[in-house]
Amino acid sequence: MGSQLVDISDIAEMLNQRIGELTRELLPGGRRDGHEWRCGSVAGEPGGSMAVKLVGAKCGVWSDFSSGECGDALDLVSAVLFHGDKGEAVKWSRSWLGLDNLDPARLEQRRREAKVAADKRDKDAAAEALKMRNKARAIFIGAQPDIIKTPVYRYLLLRGIDINVLPKVPGSLRFEPNCWCMETKTELPAMVACVQDGDGQHIATHRTYLQRQHDGTWKKAPLEDAKKTLGSFRGGFITLNRGASGKPLRQAPEGDHVFLAEGIETGLSLAVEMPEVRVLAGVSVSNFANLALPAACSSITIAADNDGDNAQAKGALDRAVERFIGEGRSVRVIHSPVGKDFNDLLQWQKRAVIEAARRMS
């Protein structure tokens, strides 16, 4: 009975304090990588797409970069053991923490300790977030803005994207020849992108690490994860094309139509084929529902990736559609008929044209 006195937030904090032990039990197929526990997904298989913070201000915070799922330690229990059922996760966590058998005095002491730890963590997290945002902004500001003269242009061109056809080369994209990469512990060339919120504030910097090939072309670097974001991109987006109005999103004209894509390459593939439309990249499908779009944007087209049977991705897409419709907007979802996304379609079309020309010659 006494455990009923403990708030869910207290339980989550108590789990955070024992996150190392918890992750080893829930995700035994993972491995420690610095200050994180890495595995493939909430299923616990080996891999690197999912990371759980083990120390610091974000201790207990986890993210599955492939599905977009994230949360605290209690959310981790819910996702791994109970398919998202928070109520069952709370029951299991109470038992695992030994709260059900504590006398009221000891239980209250544990609750106070959790509250103190949570308050300190919140302060530390706020300070760390500000530091990370400033660092992310500094990386972007220090990068080369004229990407036409950099490997970024050649990388995109190899993906079938000629940004010269756009009304304006995206100011959100830059090139950094020496961008620090945690995976390799070295500096690598990278396409860096400004992630901003609805007020136009720079909140994060997205990085796509690049590598020059033997034939002189540029491709994504052969990393476990060649795309990384510094800073929290929740609610943020990358502006790839302003469309016919040429105005920033916050000044969008009445009745503006927005195309949303997950990745930069997918969004640019749409933009070069339809220069008249506004295109934003939301970084992840899980972030679409967090976007605060101006009321003037009355219609939205979501260019969703083909994620197969990924239930998490489908759920995130459904939540975004539900939110936008609830705001009184018209919404449609489109998928590429070829490959994973519209960049695959663009490349397929270009190859088809080349092959046809060869047959005719």
What's 26's domain CATH number?
3.90.580.10
Residues 51, 36: Cα–Cα separation, whole Å: 6
Q: Looking at the domain assignment, is residue 186 inside a domain?
A: yes
Q: What is the mean pLDDT of the chain?
A: 89
Residues 117 and 82 in one domain: yes
Looking at residue 76, its pLDDT comes to 94
Residue 94 and residue 57 share a domain: yes
Q: What is the pLDDT of residues 282-296, one digit of tens each?
A: 998 889 999 999 999
Considering its fold, how many domains does the chain have in total?
2
User: Secondary structure of the chain: what % helix, strand, coil (to 5)?
Assistant: 40, 25, 35
Q: Which domain holds residue 43?
A: 2-125
Q: Which of 97, 125, 153 is the last residue of a domain?
A: 125
- C-alpha closest to that of 300 among 291, 312, 313: 291
Q: Evaluate whether 300 touches 260 at the Cβ level (below 8 Å).
A: yes
What percent of the chain is predicted at pLDDT more than 90? Answer: 64
Position 136 in a domain: no
The answer to whether residue 15 is domain-embedded is: yes
Same domain as 243, residue 174: yes
Residue 155 in tokens: 């990388």
Same domain, 84 and 113: yes
Report yes or no on 255 lying in a domain.
yes
CB atoms within 10 A of CB 210: 23
Asked if 64 and 167 sit in the same domain, the reply is no
**DSSP-assigned states of every residue in 286-339:** GGGGG----TTEEEEEEEE---TT-HHHHHHHHHHHHHHHHTT-EEEEEE-SSS
Task: Mark whether 186 and 318 lie in a shared domain.
Answer: yes
> How far is the C-alpha of 167 from the C-alpha of 275, rounded, in Å?
7
Distance CA 306, CA 337 (A): 9
Do 94 and 149 reside in the same domain of the chain?
Answer: no
299 and 153 in a common domain: yes
pLDDT level of residue 2 (50, 70, 90 thresholds): very low
Shared domain check, 298 and 176: yes
pLDDT digits (tens, 9 = 90+) for 191-228: 999 999 988 899 999 999 999 999 999 999 999 889 99
Query: What does the alpha-carbon distance between residue 111 and residue 225 come to, in Å, rounded to a whole number?
Result: 39
Instruction: Supply the pLDDT for residue 242.
Output: 95
State which of 125, 154, 184 marks the end of a domain: 125
How far is Cα 302 from Cα 333, in angstroms, rounded to an integer? 5
Confirm whether 218 is domain-assigned.
yes
235 in the same domain as 107: no
What average pLDDT does the segment 294-316 reach?
88
pLDDT band at 274 (very low <50, low <70, confident <90, very high): very high
Q: Are residues 223 and 304 in the same domain?
A: yes
Bridge partners, 38 (sequence order): 31, 51
138 within domain boundaries: no
Order across the sheet with 36-39: list the strands.
Answer: 31-33, 36-39, 50-53, 62-64, 70-71
pLDDT, tens digit, 9 for 90 and up, residues 3-43: 456 788 888 888 988 999 999 999 998 999 888 999 988 88
Show which of 77, 97, 125 is a domain's final residue: 125
Residues 17 and 163 in one domain: no
How would residue 237 be classed by pLDDT, with cut points 50, 70 and 90? Answer: very high
Residue 185 in domain: yes
CB of 129 closer than 8 Å to CB of 23? no
**Quick check: 86 and 80 in contact, CB under 8 A?**
no
In a domain, 132, yes or no: no
